[in-house]
Amino acid sequence: MLGMRAKDLQWYLLDTSYGGTAGIKEAVEKVLEKSFVQKIRIGYEIRTLERLMNELLSDDGRALIGLSDVKKAIEMGVVKELIVSARMFKDKYEELIPLIVKAESFGAKIVFVSEHHEKGEELIGLGGIAAILRFPIKFYNTS
């Protein structure tokens, strides 16, 4: 179990001025610097959105955009990763909270994405919410 978790960790190489305990303390302080942590978070958001774009481009039905389709997928329990723009979350908080809770109850990972970078703006342009699915599904218009 530990081996599986360890391979999913991200490792960073930091330069320090000291060795031993003083070097470890300096490395921890660098990691805790807001700009460093922010860069890590933005990098994570960008990688998540790149995975979404790859799924959308593959057109195999494993990714959805827009509130209506994402809501249906959450109700079906097929969402693996729910990606929500922070701006949309602020604007539609009351509507999104029950969906997020339901998605989490089915084991979905929730990713909030800032609009303070280009990929975050792209998500807003795609409707502000998207999902990567556990398996492909297609919705058919019944009207």
| CATH number assigned to the domain comprising residue 125 | 3.30.1330.30
In the DSSP assignment, the letter for residue 79 is E
| Assigned domain for 68 exists | yes
Residues (pLDDT < 50) of the chain are: 1-2, 4
What is d(CA 115, CA 123) in angstroms, rounded to the nearest whole number?
8
What residue numbers bound the domain in which 67 lies? 17-133
| Assigned domain for 142 exists | no
| Assigned domain for 139 exists | no
pLDDT for the residue numbered 58: 93
Count structural domains, the chain: 1
Strands 109-113 and 79-85: parallel
Helices (H) and strands (E) in the chain, counts: 7, 4
pLDDT for the residue numbered 24: 83
What number of other Cβ atoms are within 10 A of residue 120's Cβ? 21
pLDDT tens digit string along 31-49? Answer: 667 666 677 788 899 999 9
| Assigned domain for 140 exists | no
| Assigned domain for 4 exists | no
Residues 139 and 111 sit within 8 Å (Cβ to Cβ): no
pLDDT for the residue numbered 2: 47
